[in-house]
Structure 1
Amino acid sequence: MAHLLNKPVHHPLSDDVQVIHDLQPNDINLDYIGLKVLDIKSGGNYEEATEDFELCIVALTGKVTVSDGTNTFEHIGTRDSVFEKIPTDSVYISKQHNITIEAVTDARVILCYAPADEVRETQLIPASENSIEDRGKYSNKRHVHNILPDTHKASEKLLVVEVYTDQGNWSSYPPHKHDQDNLPNESLLEETYYHEMNPRTGFVFQRVYTDDLSLDETMAVENSDVVIVPKGYHPVAVPDGYDGYYLNIMAGPKKVWKFYNQPDHEWIIDRK
């Protein structure tokens, strides 16, 4: 069985910093993606060297100050809950930097990693620059905040997006994949999903599977879980009574998002 579902670890680094997830590429059998989720108490600090990775720091909740040793971005973050459904602030930092994250209020941040070749300019990605869109129809509706889309020039490989799926709806649907380096028809992008639920006691279902079913896992995903998508299709179903949120990290050899819909289900897009 593939190890795709990752539960929160709640590991204290100090009195002020708790690791919720620490999933580096080698830990999850990926080549292009790592992630870390941290809870930092007000006044607490976290430090790290980016080494050979580019990094997007997303202020999921609360306010933080982020520094790369030269540039400092103070009091970033816009919400107390992701379910306020407003965009938040993020910071892009390339490889070979020493970073500091200081919590101005109690905060949860996610650090999104991809291996990098270049040293690039550090950039604030303010909430106001997130493009916002609604996708799908009928019971296939979702609300999207594009933090670091493939059109954003800050990063080499990283793509980052937030998606909201209301109760009773499907997301990442009809089933699609992006696991072949076959442009212009399809790009090769690994992917991870960081999930939250409202109310927190809820769950969603996510299936990850390939055409030949050599990979075929269906998971009950709970609040703060992470799902790894190394390849294949990866739809999400949100039950009645609960709303779903996930933050996607995607990365691959080329920063292009070109997906392929499973032909058996593509008819859903154009139904009347």
Structure 2
Amino acid sequence: MQLGYVGFSVHEIASGESLVLESSATEKCLVLVSGKATVTVGNQVFSHIGERMSPFEKDTNQQRIKPHSVYVAPQQRIQVVAETDLELAVCEAPSEGNLETRYITPQEVDAEHRGKGHNQRYVHNILPDDKPADSLLVVEVFTDEGCTSSYPSHKHDQDIDGKETYLEETYYHRLNPSQGFCMQRVYTDDRELDECMAVYDKDVVMVPKGYHPVATIAGYDSYYLNVMAGPKRKWQFSWERDHAWINSEDYK
């Protein structure tokens, strides 16, 4: 299956090696999932960026370390030189080319806790809809063992003015420890699409439409990098009616 708006790839680059991405019509968000690098875009050089050696790494205060990222305007040639072993995610979407290439520092990435009880996660908003981009929305989500996320089930697969926007989505999964797995279901109200899968470390799940909850397994923490894009750059979604009560005070 190929999506119409979202493009996504991950590159594992050994220390001292380089990657060249030729110019294209898409805007890109380069996310350093782990490792350090120097990124050159046209005549701009972003030197020695990156900090964490794993997406699960925490600082001395036990706070999750935020990512370093680069937003790249279309028609720009990119060179990435790995200064350590590097895990680089390349997120792409259609663009009108009205914006400038820029470095997204960790300080610019908002962090937030969502949910309660066994439905909790921690979020890094790398490229949310209140930050400049033409199509891309990019976010990291951390879910501890035994919890659900992207839940209660919600969808964003049609345009309903003021209520829901059409956004395709991909999930790039990492597990800690890496031999673990989590579960993800992708399904529609009419069950025309209804897939439930065991997702392993470094798997990618595509969500062309429908609901898409994630559940972790005891002993294994989850990280995923979400990429969304569609004809309108606004994250508006609808809850699945049966499970919306999880948001209420009745759920502890």
TM class, shorter-length: over 0.9
In the aligned structure 2, how far is the partner of 1:166 from the partner of 1:173? 14
Residue 29 of structure 1 and its aligned partner are, at CA, apart by: 2.2
Number of equivalent positions: 244
> 72, 90, 95: which is aligned to 1:93?
72
Equivalent residues in 2 for 1:205-220, closer than 5 Å:
205-220=183-198
Identity %: 52
CA shift at 1:70, angstroms?
Answer: 1.2
1:77 aligns with 2:62: no
Q: Is the 8 A contact 1:134 1:141 kept in 2?
A: yes
Distance in 1 (alpha carbons) for counterparts of 2:166 and 2:149: 20
The alpha carbon displacement at 1:119 in A equals 4.4
Residue number in structure 1 paired with 2:14: 41
Q: Which amino acid aligns with 1:176?
A: H
- 4+ long deviations beyond 4 Å: none
Aligned counterpart, 2:61:
none
How far residue 120 of structure 1 moved from its aligned partner, in angstroms, is 2.1
Match of 1:239 in 2: 217
By how many angstroms is 1:208 displaced? 0.1
Give the secondary structure class of the aligned counterpart of 1:101: strand
Structure 1 residue identity aligned to 2:84: T
Contact 1:135 1:144 in 2 (8 A): yes
Partner residue of 1:144?
A: 123
State how far apart, in whole Å, the 1-side matches of 2:88 and 2:13 are: 8
Residue 6 of structure 1 corresponds to none
Pick the aligned partner of 1:60 from 30, 33, 47.
33
Mapped to 2, the partners of 1:119 and 1:101 lie a distance apart of: 23
- Alignment correspondent of 2:2: 29
Q: Which residue does the alignment assign to 1:201? A: 179
Consecutive unaligned residues of structure 2, counting only runs of 5 or more, are: 58-63
Q: Residue 96 of structure 1 contacts residue 119 of structure 1 at CA under 8 Å; is this kept in 2?
A: no
Query: What do you get for the CA RMSD once the two structures are aligned?
Result: 0.8
Contact 1:195/1:245 (CA < 8 Å) preserved in 2? yes
1:113 aligns with 2:92: yes
Point out the more displaced range, 45-54 or 193-202: 45-54
Match of 1:264 in 2: 242
Counterpart position of 1:129: 108
Counterpart contact for 1:204–1:220, Cα < 8 Å? yes
SS of residue in 1 equivalent to 2:116: coil
Shift of 1:52: 0.8
| Partners of 1:119 and 1:63 in 2: CA distance | 29
Instruction: Say whether the 8 Å CA contact 1:50–1:94 is kept in structure 2.
Output: no
Residue 50, structure 1, aligned to residue 23, structure 2:
yes
* Corresponding residue of 2:142: 164
Secondary structure of the structure 1 residue equivalent to 2:4: coil
Which of the numbers 240, 248, 257 marks the counterpart of 2:226? 248
* Aligned equivalent of 2:157: 179
Query: TM (normalized to structure 2)?
Result: 0.95
TM-superposition CA deviations, 1:69-109 (whole Å, max 9, x none)? 11110111110110013111100001111110110111110
Partners of 1:86 and 1:187 in 2: CA distance = 31
* Mapped partners of 1:36, 1:185: distance in 2: 30
1:135–1:143 contact (8 Å) kept in structure 2:
yes
1:43-65 CA distance string (max 9 Å, x none): 11111123111000001111011
Residues 108 and 240 (structure 1), Cα distance of their counterparts in 2 relative to 1, 3 Å cut: same
